[in-house]
Amino acid sequence: MRTKEPLNRREFLSAAVASAAGASLVGAAWGQGRNNGGNQNPNIVVIVSDDQGYADASCYDHPKQVSTPNTDRLAREGVRLTDGYASAWVCAPTRAGLVTGRYQQRFGFYTAGDSRIGLPLSETTVADVLKKEGYATGVIGKWHLGIEPEYHPLRRGFDEFYGFLGHGGHDYFDLSITDAYTSIYRNEKPVSDTGYLTDNLTREAVSFIERHHERPFFLYLPYSAVHWPLQAPEEDIKRFNTGDAERDIYLAMLARMDEGIGQVLAALRRTEVDDNTLIFFFSDNGGAKKNHANNGVLRDYKQSAYEGGIRVPFIVRWPGRLPEAAVCSEPIICLDIMPTIISAVGAELPGDRVYDGKDMLPVLRGEAKQPLHEALFWDGGADQWAVRAGKWKLVYRGGSPGLYDIEADIGETDNAAERNPQIVDRLKRTYAAWKKQMAPRIPRSRDRR
Ligand SMILES: [Ca+2]
């Protein structure tokens, strides 16, 4: 279902109710779908885009120049979230939250720079759990959770790795062996490659599916697209003519990634595991201004606690188990992905720690009676923080706080703080209680690079 116009909340809710009615029908077919190799456990695919704007997927409210038919297909065959959030406004902290199911601040991971140390070894990843459940596990793309050998993906629950370990961006054409940060690795060995990085990640993802479809697999596919640098094949750039030459390159990068998602979907069909595969797609933070991304009605960009930094395209698809063409307006955060996966595969989360993420399946099926989260939090350390509880969002970016009714004022234009001092106080207390549970930032003395 492509929506050219944004739906209001009532329309969102009616769509969700209609989907819930459909869900009860598909629920009856539970366990009757095709299984790979006779195994009941679903395969899991988590596709993460990088710095993609909220209006830069054509299943969202978007300018005509944007076309992402394969991402749209995920939405048409699954549940599209209008209020899907990353847990940070920059790359690495979101990834730390994603793979652990916990607010990354619980283990002191507040900034992109904290990735230079790595995901603390005390943390258990979703891949650790799935590997124990007998899953083939692979990460293909941008790791960004540590460079040193003990932080390597192969030490964090993954059987296979193809991609780069280091910072935010990677040259899309220069894939020669350089240093520990930017070389492309196959498992632990730097490899020289040619071609266009996005295509290569797709190639490796398709290969992973083809090699592992006879057993349950977990494919984590964090594309580096559409992160800086702006680079795309010339023939793709020529397809766009927005009047903004850099925007044209960005759109070409986006199109190439969307084609890659199409190839991943085709590989799932070809290997006959499509019906038994749960797919998540979201962007690791909001669109970047530097890249000429478009966040639509949202205020601000990547690196901001306003919605443009954290609210992202977010889709979940599981044929026969989740409604199709549904739109869900429940606030959900990427921390929910790990607990949802663990629920879907019938495993258990480790019992020795607090999990902030929650199983979102009842919400996606329209069966939830209560909000999934009483409140959601974002915190970049010293510079800015935000809390959303229901329709209210409190944003602190130095100076006085801003209070926004996010349902009536999605663009965060009308600061309602002075008119609602009690709500400001309540949200401040909510944030303070949360912050007390979080760890201080990973010490800089451990920053080896
Ligand atoms: Ca990012």
**Three-state SS annotation for 190-229:** EECCCCCHHHHHHHHHHHHHHHHCCCCEEEEEECCCCCCC
> Contact at 8 Å (CB) between 164 and 200?
no
Over residues 69-97, the mean pLDDT reads 97
Over residues 24-37, the mean pLDDT reads 37
pLDDT at position 124 over 90 = yes
Whether this model's pTM surpasses 0.95: no
Specify the pLDDT at position 7. Answer: 39
Specify the pLDDT at position 167. Answer: 78
Q: In angstroms, what is the span from residue 175 Cα to ligand 1's centroid?
A: 20
Asked if 144 is an active-site residue, the reply is yes
The domain limits of the chain are 9-364, 376-446
Specify the pLDDT at position 109. Answer: 94
Specify the pLDDT at position 179. Answer: 87
* Catalytic site residue from 62, 144, 170, 373: 144
Specify the pLDDT at position 1. Answer: 33
Q: In this predicted model, which residue has the larger pLDDT, 160 or 20?
A: 160
Q: 376-446 architecture in CATH?
A: 2-Layer Sandwich (3.30)
Q: In angstroms, what is the span from residue 45 Cα to ligand 1's centroid?
A: 19
Over residues 321-343, the mean pLDDT reads 98
Q: In this predicted model, which residue has the larger pLDDT, 112 or 330?
A: 330
Over residues 190-207, the mean pLDDT reads 97
Peptide bond into 229 cis (omega under 30): yes
Peptide bond into 226 cis (omega under 30): yes
pLDDT at position 297 over 70 = yes
Over residues 373-387, the mean pLDDT reads 94
Specify the pLDDT at position 444. Answer: 61
Q: In angstroms, what is the span from residue 278 Cα to ligand 1's centroid?
A: 23
Neighbours of 22 (CB within 10 A): 16
> Contact at 8 Å (CB) between 182 and 229?
no
Over residues 92-97, the mean pLDDT reads 97
Among the listed residues 401, 379, 446, the one whose alpha carbon sits nearest the alpha carbon of residue 90 = 379
Q: In angstroms, what is the span from residue 224 Cα to ligand 1's centroid?
A: 8
> Contact at 8 Å (CB) between 97 and 335?
yes
Over residues 233-237, the mean pLDDT reads 97
Q: Where is 308: in which H helix or E strand? A: helix 307-310
Quickly state the pLDDT bin for 442 (edges 50, 70, 90): confident
- pLDDT, one tens digit per residue, over 176-186 is 999 888 899 99
Specify the pLDDT at position 15. Answer: 44
Phi, psi of 420, rounded to the nearest 5 degrees: -135, 60
pLDDT at position 29 over 90 = no
Asked if 167 is an active-site residue, the reply is no
Buried b (16+ CB within 10 A) or exposed e, 377-401: bbbbbeebbbbbbeebbbbbbeeeb
User: Under 8 Å CB-to-CB from 430, ≥6 apart: which residues?
Assistant: 375, 387, 389
Helix axes 245-270, 69-76, angle to 10 degrees: 50
Mapped onto helix, strand or coil, the DSSP state of residue 428 is helix
Over residues 220-241, the mean pLDDT reads 97
For residue 8, what is the DSSP state? P
* Catalytic site residue from 91, 152, 167, 227: 91
Quickly state the pLDDT bin for 14 (edges 50, 70, 90): very low
Percent of the chain with pLDDT over 90: 84
Whose structure tokens read 């409140």? Answer: 375
CA dist., res. 220 & res. 182, Å (int): 19
Phi, psi of 93, rounded to the nearest 5 degrees: -60, -40
> How far, CA to CA in Å, does 190 sit from each of 224, 350, 381?
18, 33, 34
First-residue to last-residue Cα distance in the chain: 47
CATH superfamily of 9-364: Alkaline Phosphatase, subunit A (3.40.720.10)
Specify the pLDDT at position 27. Answer: 33
For residue 170, what is the DSSP state? -
Specify the pLDDT at position 117. Answer: 82
The overall average pLDDT reported for the chain is: 91
Q: In angstroms, what is the span from residue 227 Cα to ligand 1's centroid?
A: 7
Over residues 93-100, the mean pLDDT reads 98
Q: In angstroms, what is the span from residue 426 Cα to ligand 1's centroid?
A: 31
pLDDT at position 12 over 80 = no
Specify the pLDDT at position 400. Answer: 84
CA dist., res. 209 & res. 221, Å (int): 12
Instruction: Give the side-chain half-sphere CA count within 13 A for 98.
Output: 26
Percent of the chain with pLDDT over 70: 90
